[in-house]
Structure 1
Amino acid sequence: MLATISQVCSLNSPFAKDLEDYAAGHCGSVEIWLTKFETWLEQHSLDEFRRLRNKLELQTPVASFQGGLLASQGERRQEAWQLLDRRLQLCQQAEIGTIVVACDVPRQGFDQQMLERVLVSLQDLGQRCGNHGVRAAIEFQSSAAFGNNVKTLAMLLADLNLPSLGICLDAFHYHTSSSKPADLTSLTSENLFHVQLCDIADLPRELASDSQRILPGEGDIDLVPLLDRLRAIHYTGCVSLEVLNPQLWLIPPLQMGEIGITCLRRLLGQASM
C-alpha cells in the first residue's frame, strides 16, 4: 500500500509549496487537488510540473475530485462534462492514472428517471475514461440518494462491468453511511481503485461533517476491519490522508506532511522512512 497525502489537507497553501513541503516531510506520494492544480497551471506549464515532480521525487497517482456528473441536467450537466473532459486530458498529460468522481446523486427529486440518468452517466464516464487511459474511482457519498454505501456501489459497478470504473473507499462516508464491516467483503483487488482515511471524534455519525475530520486513529471510526480487508485482498494502491478540517489547514504543510505520513505508516504497519 502506498501511503499518500491529499493536497486538501493543506487547502490554503499554494500548489507548489504543498509539493515541496510534503516532499521535505518524507511524503513520497501526493493526491493532487484538481482546483489547486488548475489554478497553478494558469501561470505555469505541464513541463514545469513534471520537472518539479521529478526534482522532488514525488509520485502523483491520483487526482480529486470531479462532481456534478451523474444526475445533473441541462446547462449544469453540460458544464460538468466539459470540465471532466478537460480534466481527463490533464490527467493523461500529467500521467495521473486515477481521478476521484463523486457519486453525488441528490435525494431531492430522486426517481426512476434520475436513476436511469445515473446509469447512462456511469457508462459514458467509463467510456471517456477508457479513451484517455485514466481510471475513475467512484466515491460513494453517505448523503446521496443512490450508491451511498460500499455494497450498493460494488454491485452497481459489477453490473456495469467497465474496467475503467472502480471504487473510492472514503472512511468518512463509510462511517456515516449504512455500510457495515461485513460489506467490506464486496471490495476486491480489481474493484478498489483508491482509499481515503480520516477519523471523527465524539460525534454521532448522523451529525458528523467533512469539516470535523481529524487524523485517522485518533477518533471513533473503527478502521481495523477496513485495514484488515485491504491486507486480505493484497491491495497495493494509494491509501490517502484526507482531512478537510479548517483548523488543521492552519498547520504548515511541512508539519502536516510529517504528521500525516507518520500517522498513515503507523496504521499501515509500515516502517518510518
Structure 2
Amino acid sequence: MDLEFCEKHGYDLIEIRLDKLKEYLEEHTVADLKNFFDTSKIKSFAFNALEFISFRDETGYSKIVEDLQFLCEVGSVIDCKKIVVVPTFDIGDYTRQQIQEETVRVLHDLADRAQAYGVSLAFEFVGYPNCSVNTFGQAYQIVQAVNRDNVGIVLDCFHFHAMNSRLEDLQQADPAKIFVFHIDDCEDLPVGALRDQHRVWPGHGSVDLDVILRTLSEIGYSEMVSVELFMPEYWDWEIERTIQTGKETTEQAIRTYFA
C-alpha cells in the first residue's frame, strides 16, 4: 500500500525500511518488488537502516553484517544502491576520539563488504544526547576520515536542529558527500529533549528549514529530499492521507529554493 499510494501521489523515490522489507517478503518475493519498480514511475533510492553499527559485540556485529549482505543482494535485484547506517547509543564513557576511531573502523569494514555490490553507505547522526554521533559536524568529520567514495552522510533536518548542529559545518560541506537528505520539522522543545515522536510535517514546526534549504542551494546540493516522520498521530491517519500530506508539505517547504 505504501508503494502504491506513493506512486499514485507522484513521489519519485522511496526509502525502503528494513523491517517493512522483511515483512513484505513474508508474502511476496524480491521478483515481485522488482516488477513493481519496473512498471512504476517511483524508484527505490535507499534502504533505511542498519542501526547501531558501532561498539557491538561479536554476535551483534554478525547480525549487522548479515543484514548488510541481505540488503546488498535485494538491492542488486531492484537497483537500490544506498544503505543508511546509524551509530550506537548509550556506549558509556568513550572519548570523542575513541568514538571516531571505532566508527571509522566499522564504516571501512562495512564499506568494503558493500563495495563488491556497488553499494554506498549513508551515515546518519542522531540528534539525541545519548547517541555516540549526534551532530552534523561530528558525523561529517568521521565521513571525511573514512575518505571513501562509497561513504557519505545523511542530513536530517530534525537531527540537525535537535542538538544544535552548526550551520557553518553545513556551509563548508561538500554537497557530493550528502548522500541522503531527510526533511521534517518538530515541536518547540529544548535542545536535548526532542525525540522522534515530536516530529511534525515540514513547515509546521520550529526547525528553521529555510536556512537549511538555502544553505543546501548555496553549496550546490540538488539531488533528492525524503520526508521522514515518526509522529504516532500520523500513523493513525488513513494511509493515503498521510502519504499525500507528506508530499504536499514537502513540496511547499522546498519550492522557494528548488524547482
1:22-101 residue pairs with structure 2 within 5 A? 22-101=6-85
Q: 2:100 aligned with 1:142, yes or no?
A: no
- Give the equivalent residue in structure 2 for 1:118: 103
Q: State the TM-score, normalizing by the size of structure 1.
A: 0.86
What is the CA distance between 1:102 and its match in structure 2?
Answer: 0.6
Mapped contact 1:71–1:105 kept (Cα < 8 A): no
Mapped contact 1:25–1:255 kept (Cα < 8 A): no
What is the CA distance between 1:190 and its match in structure 2?
Answer: 1.6
- Residues 59-78 of structure 1 show CA distances to partners (whole Å, capped at 9, x for unaligned) of 11122011122221121122
Q: 2:240 aligned with 1:254, yes or no?
A: yes
- Give the equivalent residue in structure 1 for 2:156: 170
Q: What is the distance in 2 between the residues matched to 1:209 and 1:148?
A: 12
Q: What is the distance in 1 between the residues matched to 2:58 and 2:100?
A: 16
- Residues 174-210 of structure 1 show CA distances to partners (whole Å, capped at 9, x for unaligned) of 1112412222123222210001111112322322110
Q: What is the distance in 2 between the residues matched to 1:69 and 1:174?
A: 20
What 5-or-longer segments of structure 1 have no aligned partner?
1-16
Q: What is the distance in 2 between the residues matched to 1:131 and 1:203?
A: 43
Q: What is the distance in 2 between the residues matched to 1:262 and 1:113?
A: 43
- Give the equivalent residue in structure 1 for 2:186: 200
- Residues 191-250 of structure 1 show CA distances to partners (whole Å, capped at 9, x for unaligned) of 100011111123223221101111011110111121012212332322111001111011
Q: State the TM-score, normalizing by the size of structure 2.
A: 0.90
SS in 2 for 1:205: coil
The number of residue pairs the alignment matches comes to: 256
Q: What is the distance in 2 between the residues matched to 1:131 and 1:186?
A: 31
| Pair 227,115 (structure 1): closer, same or farther in 2 beyond 3 Å | closer
- Residues 90-139 of structure 1 show CA distances to partners (whole Å, capped at 9, x for unaligned) of 22222112111112253424256665332211111221221211111100
**110, 116, 133: which one aligns with 2:118:** 133
| Pair 189,57 (structure 1): closer, same or farther in 2 beyond 3 Å | same
More contact order relative to length (CA 8 Å, sep ≥ 6): 1
| Pair 121,132 (structure 1): closer, same or farther in 2 beyond 3 Å | same
| Pair 56,251 (structure 1): closer, same or farther in 2 beyond 3 Å | farther
- Give the equivalent residue in structure 1 for 2:208: 222
Q: What is the distance in 2 between the residues matched to 1:230 and 1:92?
A: 30
| Pair 157,113 (structure 1): closer, same or farther in 2 beyond 3 Å | closer
- Give the equivalent residue in structure 2 for 1:267: 253
What 5-or-longer segments of structure 2 have no aligned partner?
none
| Pair 268,23 (structure 1): closer, same or farther in 2 beyond 3 Å | same
SS in 2 for 1:202: coil
Residue identity over aligned pairs, in percent, reads: 24
Mapped contact 1:22–1:253 kept (Cα < 8 A): no
Q: What is the distance in 1 between the residues matched to 2:209 and 2:98?
A: 37
CA RMSD of aligned residues (A): 2.2
Mapped contact 2:65–2:110 kept (Cα < 8 A): no
Q: What is the distance in 2 between the residues matched to 1:168 and 1:114?
A: 18
- Give the equivalent residue in structure 1 for 2:92: 108
Aligned amino acid, residue 25 of structure 1 = H
